[in-house]
Structure formats: structure tokens, C-alpha cells
Amino acid sequence: MTSGQTPLNSLTTLSPKETQALESAGFVTVADLLAHFPKRYEDRRQFDAFPTLPTGKPVCLHGGVIDAGTKGFGKTRFYEAVIMDGSGGVFGSGKITCRWFNMPFMSKVIAAGQQVIAYGKVKEQGGRLIIDHPEIEVIREDEEEAIHLNRIVPIYRNISGINQRRLRETIHTLLQTTDPESLTFPYPVSETNRTADLFETHFPTSAESGKAARRRFALEAFFTIQLNVVWQRTRYLSHNGRVLGKKTTLLKAFYENLPFDLTGAQKRSIKEIIADMRLPRPMNRLIQGDVGSGKTFVALASMLLAIDSGADAALMAPTQILAEQHFLTFRKWLEPLGVNLVLRTANKREESIAAHGPTIFIGTHALLYDETLFTDLGLVVIDEQHKFGVAQRTDLIRQGTLPDVLVMTATPIPRSLTMTIYGDLDVSLLDEKPAGRGKIITALRNKPKQQDITDFVKAQLAEGRQAYLVYPLVEESDSVKAESATEAFPKWQKRLGAEHVGLIHGKLRPEEKDAVMEDFRSGKTKALVATTVIEVGVDVPNANLMILHHAERFGLAQIHQLRGRIGRGEHKSYCVLVTDTKLPEAIEKLTVLERTSDGFEIAEADLRLRGPGDILGTAQSGLTDLRFADFITDTELIRQARSLADQVFKDDPDLSGLHANLRPFISESTAPQGAH
């Protein structure tokens, strides 16, 4: 028998070309390849019926190729195969056209007369039902079909140079010929037989047994993540930090100057921050709050505590617009207090210096590149932290000597993700909104008349309000059929009057963005044609209307963030989601926003629909290679993984004794942030 550590290039069952393809994809040993779990399964005991209408979800079809060939000319050439359902129906056999663009090699893969299995979403175009770029597999009569047909079949992520069929056969053979003792996991997370679970994960006998087996390996993966989370947390807390926040003179003066009262959630969060800052260890806290919950004032209060303790404080934001918005807000409240305030972005430097001494610095990534900026950095605040990579956050923190760290996000994160990604942080939750905010009414409109939209916008502007007109693209695109902001801009100028309409997008120079935003803030322009560049950092209380065009092209959380740009004043606000989609899942997604303004409910739905990688971005370590994203909403599983990890460190705090075999699972990147 082979061992899990047997190199793939020593197997006689694989050709040198296949071995090279696997090694290029990162698979060196037998164990590596057996840990390449299926991305999904196809129940080939019963295929989907050939549809007669477009489908919102992918379908798995079995049929014969009746015609195939290259179509189109020049850049628009594509390979096309027409598949017919052999079983027929009341009105005869169904047909589906499969197309592949810029993939001329498909002519060597698919030909008339073959039996194939195709998987993909069906759309309607030119009176035909079409699947673009389907996953496809040719069924060969002269080969052993036991693992390819008439069972639940694993479908793997593509590996260049080795097709699905060959990969499936290779893994099936290795499962039967590899010594089970060489495929163990160094910690017993489950009492079930790991080898049996491994076989069932790849080749399930039923959907239920396959999911149960996958859950075991998901637990192993989450256990590994939680080991790193607990390791980082315990090491971080073991460092001697500085004691800040004992003096509250500035904080009290700030409270007294406010013309409104902070919410209970804001006060509770500030108390938690004060308690953290007064401990002789570094604070490591996450402020999690929905759009408009008042995180900025919590950040400002914490920075005043640092200033009162004689230390500098820095706030890093992901965009210049957001950094400048914070600067304007802070300057308004800090000038009466005589606190030094400095703005640093790649294109802008501004200062409000009242006296020598501690300073609040606000900026973008530019804060990372001026090593002489800080005298004594005691508090670091990272806003919209998921937009930064781990290394960027660490670079700023290391400019101080174990400073207190506060990270903030306006993207509500499901409880399960918080436990996975931010398990090393203490969490403060802002679950109330400040008083005096207008109600936001959200409405979904499918194929509305342009005149109706224009009339509604004009009516709001006539009442003295302002509007955002948001588009998914900056410029026209050959590949995406959606109107862009630059295309729409002159049309809106014509509808509303050129002097009333501004245009902002990510390709404008910083000084142009500044000018556009200043005109909108001051009310000089009444409507702003924009892209998602306004997603964060734009605060214009008089703006009460947002028309979101091609709404199906935005993520749920992204729309929720955009919607947070309105409803910031006292007026009733309106968010209109405009779409022309027929896809059921897109309509389902948008009706979630119509139904609720609860960011956490929206986050759960977004997680369910898109998975964690898309929600948090690839900058978050530990998620980009997570093979069990379908279990990320399983809070109980993650709690179990955390409990196991806690027990490991309780028994062996340094992983140097009883559990020394787990030490290789600790990533070097989980060294305490701020340590020198």
C-alpha cells in the first residue's frame, strides 16, 4: 500500500505530465491530493429535466450532442454544441445550446454523437435556451462507469492539465490503496473512523452521509483556524502594554459640547474601551455596528482618552473620501477642545494644530509611509478594517510600542464569521441607532419607466432634498450589459439641468473628487451620479434619495452600505432598487433588502448566497483557502472547534508537551501584532 506521504511523482498510475499538472497546482503527496475535497456533487442517479425556461440555479443535464461547431467571426468567435434530451417529452425532446467563448480547444473535446453531462445556469437569448461556459463531461461507453454514473458523483475544482474524469479515477484508486494509518489527524476531533469519513466525503453513498462526513473535516479545518486564533489571543494578552485612559478630562468636555446624547450602545462600548485601556496589556477590540450606528463618535472618544494620557492616536481609513470625512467631523468637535488634528493622505495634508503635544492623526495608507509622523503612538484605530490586508494593519500598529488597537467595521458580520476571523478580539456591538434619523423606505422596481424615475427624483429635489444616482460601472463595457455612470451622466444633466448634476467615480483624480463632493455637500449640486466610490465616508444629511441602477449587480452587504448614505438626516428617505433581471435568485436577494434594514439579517443572507470569501475580501487570512465555506454558518460547529482549541491550550499552553504535534499548525503570521 502507498502512504499518505508518498510523493505523487513516484506513482506508476500517473503519467509524468499528470504529475507535473498536480504539482503545479500544489499537490505533492498522496495526502495532499486526498485533501482536495469536492466543491460540489452531482446526483447522477437522476438528472434534471431539460428546462423550457431560464433557470435561476444551475441544472445538471444528460443528453446527446446533435450538432457542434465554431460560430461567429473575429473576436466574437465561439464554440457551440447543441445537446438534446434523449428521453423526449410531450412536445418532443428538449434542446439546450452550450457555448464557450475564447476557448477554441473545445472543438477537440466536444463533437456531435457524444453523450455528455452538462452543468450550468440556463438563460434565454434570441429565442434559444443557452448555457454559457457550462461544466461538461463526456461519457465514454468503453470505460468503467461505476464511479462516473448511477451514483452521487464528486465534482472537483479544476486542475489545469488533468480533467475531472481522470482526477476522480485517481482519487478513487488512492482511497483504496493508501494505508489508513498514514492519513491520521494529530488531534481526535471526532470518534468516527477518519478513513471511512474520507471515502464518504469523496464518494458519498447518500447526501446525508456525505454531509456528515464533510462536517468532520470541516471541524478539523475550523479547529486549525481556532488554534491560531487562541494562540494569537493568549500571546497578545501576555504582553505588558501601557495603561491609558485614567484621565477623562477631554472626554467629559466632549460629552458636554455634544448637542445630543449618545446611545446606550455607544456609552456601553466606550465604557468597555475605557476598561480595556486601563489594563496593563494591549487592547485588541472590534467595534461592530450597522450603518449609521455612530462608530465615529466611539472612535473619537477612545482617541481623546489616548490624548489625555499623553499619547498620539491614529485612525486609518481605506479611502481618501472616508479619511477626509472623518477629518471634517473630528475638526468640528475637537476645535473647542484645543486638540491637535492632522490629515495625511497620498494627495492631501492638512493640519489643525492648537498646541504642542499629543496629536490625532487621520489618514489612508499614507500613514504607513511616514516613519517620523508619530512621537508616541498609543492608540491605533482601523476603520472599515476588512478593506485592509493583515500586513497593512500590522505595519501601522508596529509604528507604536504595543499600542491599544481598535478595529471598526460597518459591514455587519454574522456571528459565525466573527468567531472565525475575529476570535482573537473582544467585541463591542453597536446595536442602536442615534435619535433623529429619518426612516428609509426601500422599494424594488423591475423595468420601471425612466420618466417615472425622473419625476420622482424631481419631486424630491423640488422639496429641497438631494439624490444619489448609483451605477455599477464607471465606463461602458463590452462584456457587461449595464449602463455606466459616465454614460448616464449627460442624460441626467439633460433631465435635471446640467448645473444640478455632479459625477463621481474612482477614476477621477483626488482633487476632482474633492471638488465634486464639496459641491454636493454645500448643496450646489442637487444630484450625484456615482459608482460605489460613495459606499463609505460620504455624509450629507440632506440627501434622502438613492436610485440604484442594475441593482442585481451589487452584493447585498454592498447595497446595504450604499443605502446607509441616506437616512442620515431627519427627512424620510427612499432607496429604489432598479433592475430588469428575470433570475429568481437575484430577485430573492433584492427582496431581502426591501424586507429588512437589519444589517445582521442581511449579512446572514449575503453569507448564505455568496460565501465568506466574497463578503470579507481575500485580504482576510485564513479564509481564502477555506474548503468548507458551506459550513461557515454552522455556529455550533465553530463553537465546538473553539472549545477543542481552548482545551488544547489549557492542557499545554506552549504546545511544547502533550500537544507538541500541533505546533506545525500554528502560522508564523499569528505572532502578536505590535511585538518588536
**Contacts for 188 with CB less than 8 Å, ≥ 6 apart:** none
Residue 566 to residues 417, 535, 569, 608: CA-CA distances in angstroms? 27, 11, 8, 26
> Domain extents for the chain?
51-142, 189-437+618-676, 448-579
User: Does position 638 have pLDDT exceeding 90, yes or no?
Assistant: no
Same fold, 51-142 and 448-579: no
What the block records as the C-alpha cell of 297 is 463618535
Report the share of the chain in percent with pLDDT over 90.
51
What the block records as the C-alpha cell of 97 is 445550446
Q: How many CA atoms lie within 13 Å of 65's alpha carbon, on the beta-carbon side? A: 22
Averaged pLDDT, 193-220: 94
115: enclosing H helix or E strand: strand 115-120
What is the sign, positive or negative, of the torsion defined by CA atoms of 11, 15, 20, 21?
negative
User: Does position 49 have pLDDT exceeding 60, yes or no?
Assistant: yes
Superfamily of domain 51-142: Nucleic acid-binding proteins (2.40.50.140)
Residue 674: predicted pLDDT:
36
How far apart (Å, rounded) are the C-alpha atoms in residues 614 and 215? 22
* pLDDT tens for each residue of 485-525: 999 999 999 999 999 999 999 899 888 988 999 999 999 99
pTM: 0.67
Q: Which residue is listed with cell 453569507? A: 607
135: enclosing H helix or E strand: strand 135-139
Q: Which of 146-160, 231-245, 265-279, 436-450 has the lowest mean pLDDT?
A: 231-245
* pLDDT tens for each residue of 423-482: 778 888 888 877 777 789 999 999 999 999 999 999 999 999 999 999 999 887 766 778
User: 3-state class of 650 per DSSP?
Assistant: helix
Q: Which of 108-117, 197-206, 555-564, 639-648 has the lowest mean pLDDT?
A: 555-564
Burial class (CB in 10 A: 0-12, 13-18, 19+), 270: buried
Averaged pLDDT, 17-21: 94
How far apart (Å, rounded) are the C-alpha atoms in residues 294 and 401? 29
Report the share of the chain in percent with pLDDT over 70.
91
Residue 93: predicted pLDDT:
61
**Contacts for 563 with CB less than 8 Å, ≥ 6 apart:** 291, 440, 442, 546, 575, 593, 597
CATH topology of domain 189-437+618-676: Rossmann fold (3.40.50)
Residue 619: predicted pLDDT:
39
User: Does position 666 have pLDDT exceeding 80, yes or no?
Assistant: yes
How far apart (Å, rounded) are the C-alpha atoms in residues 487 and 474? 9
For the chain, the residue count is 676
User: Does position 217 have pLDDT exceeding 90, yes or no?
Assistant: yes
**Contacts for 272 with CB less than 8 Å, ≥ 6 apart:** 285, 426, 428
More confident residue, 605 or 673: 605
* pLDDT tens for each residue of 60-81: 999 999 999 998 887 788 999 9
Superfamily of domain 448-579: P-loop containing nucleotide triphosphate hydrolases (3.40.50.300)
Q: Within 10 A of 112 (CB to CB), how many other CB atoms are there?
A: 12
Averaged pLDDT, 218-236: 88
